[in-house]
Amino acid sequence: MGKDERFYGSLNREVLQQAQWRNPAHLQQAFNRWRQVYNHDRPHEALELAVPATRYEPSLRAYPEILPPIVYDMGVTVRKVQQKGEVHFRGQVFEVSRAFRGYPVGLVPTKEDGIYDVRFCHHTIKRINVRKTH
């Protein structure tokens, strides 16, 4: 957690607070320059003054450009996440996340009445309560 806070603090001080950005492309150029310095040029005390690029190892797992079809077990209620990141279930609308737009999620009842886990593949991403009205 501390390393994340340190990273975002550096990004904020060294890029975001340094200029007014004309547009997203202009800001992206600054991010690209900063990423080069951060990973390849500037030594890091936590790495015994090495640069992060010297510690990088590519993942052995392949990253698919397109996910294989997502299939849920029998009995799992499946809903497609809509453009605004929500699903419709039992006459209500529940916010899930825009990150899952267009993908199916599974709704699985928990042991607690009216409470469902929202799953993406095998990962629970949210818990919803169908007893509360929005």
Residues 29-67 have pLDDT tens digits of 999 999 999 999 989 888 899 999 999 999 999 888 888
Range of the domain at 12: 2-55
Rounded Cα gap, residues 103 and 65, in angstroms: 15
Residues near 33 by beta carbon (within 8 Å), at least 6 away in sequence: none
Q: Does residue 51 share a domain with residue 8?
A: yes
| 94 part of a folded domain | yes
Looking at the structure, tell me whether residues 40 and 82 fall in a common domain: no
32 part of a folded domain: yes
Cβ proximity of 86 and 96 under 8 Å: yes
Asked if the structure places residue 92 within a domain, the reply is yes
Assigned domain for 70 exists = no
The answer to whether position 71 is within a domain reads no
| pLDDT, mean of residues 100-110 | 96
Q: What is the pTM of this model?
A: 0.57
pLDDT exceeds 80 at position 133: no
Structural domain count of the chain: 2
